[in-house]
Amino acid sequence: MEDCLAKKMEITVSEAEKRTGRNAMNMQETYTAYLIETRAVESQSEGQCAPVDSLWRRYSEFELLRNYLSVTYPHIVVPPLPEKRADFVWHKLSADNMDPDFVERRRIGLENFLLRVASHPVLCQDKIFYSFLTQEGGWKEMVNETGFQLKADSRLKALNATFRVKNPDKRFTELKHYSDELQSVISHLLRVRARVADRLYGVYKVHGNYGRVFSEWSAIEKEMGDGLQSAGHHMDVYAASIDDILEEEEHYADQLKEYLFYAEALRAVCRKHELMQYDLEMAAQDLTSKKQQCEELATGTVRTFSLKGMTSKLFGQETPEQREAKIKVLEEQIQEGEEQLKSKNLESRDFVKSAWTDIERFKEQKNHDLKEALISYAVMQISMCKKGIQVWTNAKECFSKM
């Protein structure tokens, strides 16, 4: 296991703060800034506490970092950021970006993002990433100077545009299909989970109505009074218990959300392969047609219909000198083309190889994380059941004393 940054450095996103400032259009805006704290791990073992470095970053800077990484490492499944806007909310949760609960969950998500990058064997070595963590001023300029925006293929933005790739790598086609399925099923799951949470909240809270009625009723009863009153108290406890239960479940939902967004990253890698393959095939096609043209000019046979060929037949043939010139140009182009094709082929093979390595790494990570998440979900359900048993056992005792 390579020594990744996460092993050498402790990284936390420890605080979030509301700020006001001026945006690019000089309009006042409110945003949240996050405090990134880093501390070298090694010096701790010497019994000394290493100094903590810290700097503030806002969400848009995280986005910039991620865009940079996606473009610079197209063969890597780049960890996703937590959602920009609150999605899959059930009624009690706020969809407001400034809501303290949302900000808190985002803080955790951003920390998780940094840890993911820091523990990635390739990404953790990136200088821009390191500067993001350690260099407060001038980082944005540094990123822009890399000129990564130029490398970004605008075609990638058109995610749904289809490219007719004749010989796609089967594995990538399957993977793309898988990422689509994953996205679809996780978002469906999150939607239904939110609705279930909403309804569960309703069931618990309605029991809270018992308390007051039981109390008022107990006032007119002699023997039943105590039992009613104490049972009512337990019903209040029951109703209140759902808040913590559902808050814990939100963390589970966030874990699934991360993989919802990871599916997007996976898809992006497949897209890049598609584009590469497309470029390759176009280049090969172009080369073939040029070779053909050359042959036709050299031998004088026209195998394929071309307007030029027809016009030259109609309006007189070219002179031998003209033909020679043409052939020479084509031969040069063909040579260039062959070299380009060679390097493109190499590029493509390298891409496939390194992408597939990262995909395997990702698959293992995904299986491990999701299994753990499902287990933690079961643990949450068990805890909820135990609390329920506790409350209703107490209530039963009170009722039986009525």
Partner 1 sequence: DTSLAEVNSFSSSMPISPSSMINQYKFEDEPELRDLFITVDDPESHITAIETFITYRVVTKTSRGEFDSSEYEVRRRYQDFLWLKSKLEEAHPTLIIPPLPEKFIMKGMVERFSDEFIETRRKALHKFLNRIADHPTLTFNEDFKIFLTAQAWELSSHKKQGPGLLSRMGQTVRAVASSVRGGVKNRPEMFTEMNDYMETFSQKINVLDKIAHRIYKEEREYFNELKEYGPIHTLWSASEEDIADSLKGVASCIDKCCKATEKRMAGLSENLLPILHEYVLYSEILMGVLKRRDQIQGELESKVDALANKKTEKDLFSEEIGKLEDKVECANNALKADWDRWKQNMQCDMRSTFTNVAENNLHYYEECLATWESFLASQTVDLHVEEDSEDRP
**What is the pattern of x (binds partner 1, CB under 8 A) and - over residues 230-269?**
-x--------------------------------------
Span 170-199, contacts to partner 1 by CB under 8 A: 178, 181-182, 185-186, 188-189, 192-193, 195-196, 198-199
- When the beta carbons of 74 and 232 are compared against partner 1, the nearer one is 232
Q: Rounded to the nearest whole angstrom, what is the least distance from the CB of residue 145 to partner 1 in the complex?
A: 42
Alpha-carbon gap, residue 39 to 57, rounded angstroms: 17
Residue 49 or 220 having the CB closest to partner 1: 220
Question: Segment contacting partner 1 (CB under 8 A): 49-57, 143-151, 218-226, 351-359?
Answer: 218-226
Tokens of 395: 């209530």
With CB under 8 A as the rule, give the number of residues binding partner 1.
51
Is the Cβ of residue 12 or residue 215 nearer to partner 1 in the bound state?
215
Q: How far is CA 257 from CA 89, 104, 245, in A?
A: 12, 16, 19
Indicate the length of the chain as a whole number.
402
User: Letter for the amino acid at 188?
Assistant: H
How near is the Cβ of 87 to partner 1 at its closest, in Å? 17
> Half-sphere exposure of 244 toward its Cβ, with a 13 Å CA cutoff?
9
Tell the smallest beta-carbon distance from residue 196 to partner 1 (Å): 5
Compute the least distance from the CB of residue 193 to partner 1, in Å: 7
Distance of CA 147 to the CA centre of its chain: 23
Query: Shortest gap between Cβ of 164 and partner 1 (angstroms)?
Result: 26
Q: Is 213 in the site for partner 1 (CB under 8 A)?
A: yes
Q: Any residues with CB less than 8 A from the CB of 290 and at least 6 apart, and which? A: 330, 333, 334, 337
Find out whether 345 and 217 touch, Cβ atoms under 8 Å. Answer: no
Q: Is the dihedral of CA 384, 387, 393, 397 positive or negative?
A: negative
Q: Does 223 bind partner 1 (CB under 8 A)?
A: yes
Site string for partner 1, 363-402 (x = CB under 8 A): ----x--xx--xx-xxx-xx--xx-xx--xx-xx--xx-x
Token pair for 225? 């009074």
Token readout for 261 is 């967004």
Degrees to nearest 5, angle at CA 84 with 268 and 357: 30
Which residues in the 112-131 window bind partner 1 by CB under 8 A?
none
Distance CA 271, CA 255 (A): 25
- Would you say 103 or 200 has its CB closer to partner 1? 200
CB closer to partner 1, 126 vs 236: 236
- Exposure b/e, 61-76, CB count within 10 A at least 16 = b: bbebbbebbbbbbbbb
Q: Which is nearer to partner 1, 219 or 314 (CB)?
A: 219
Strands 53-58 and 28-40: antiparallel
Residue 24 interacts with partner 1 (CB under 8 A): yes or no = no
For 147, list phi and psi in degrees, rounded to 5: 70, 25
CB of 202 to partner 1, least distance (A): 4
What is the residue-wise DSSP string for 287-309? HHHHHHHHHHHHH----S--HHH
What residue ranges bind partner 1 (CB under 8 A)? Answer: 178, 181-182, 185-186, 188-189, 192-193, 195-196, 198-200, 202-203, 206-207, 209-210, 213, 216-217, 219-221, 223-224, 227, 231, 367, 370-371, 374-375, 377-379, 381-382, 385-386, 388-389, 392-393, 395-396, 399-400, 402
